[in-house]
Amino acid sequence: MILIMSGVITASEPFWIAPFTGLSPRIFGKLVTALRREGASSPGQGRPWGLPLEDWVLLAVAY
């Protein structure tokens, strides 16, 4: 299998999730679902997000 990476870490490619977060893609999906349920899918006031919620969560958990 040849894996071509574009150099951009994104949650839309599940192979990025485990190495950077330690979470399986399934558990990561549950985390995003729980956050979305709590209202984290919109930034509220201010400038709109340039990234989807999944990518924000990936960056935060990786940090």
Q: Quote the pTM value.
A: 0.77
Pull the structure tokens for residue 28.
């990561």
pLDDT at position 6 is: 61
pLDDT digits (tens, 9 = 90+) for 4-62: 556 788 999 999 999 999 999 999 999 999 999 988 877 677 777 788 999 999 999 99
Instruction: Please choose, from the candidates 32, 14, 9, 34, the residue with its C-alpha nearest in 3D space to the C-alpha of residue 24.
Output: 14
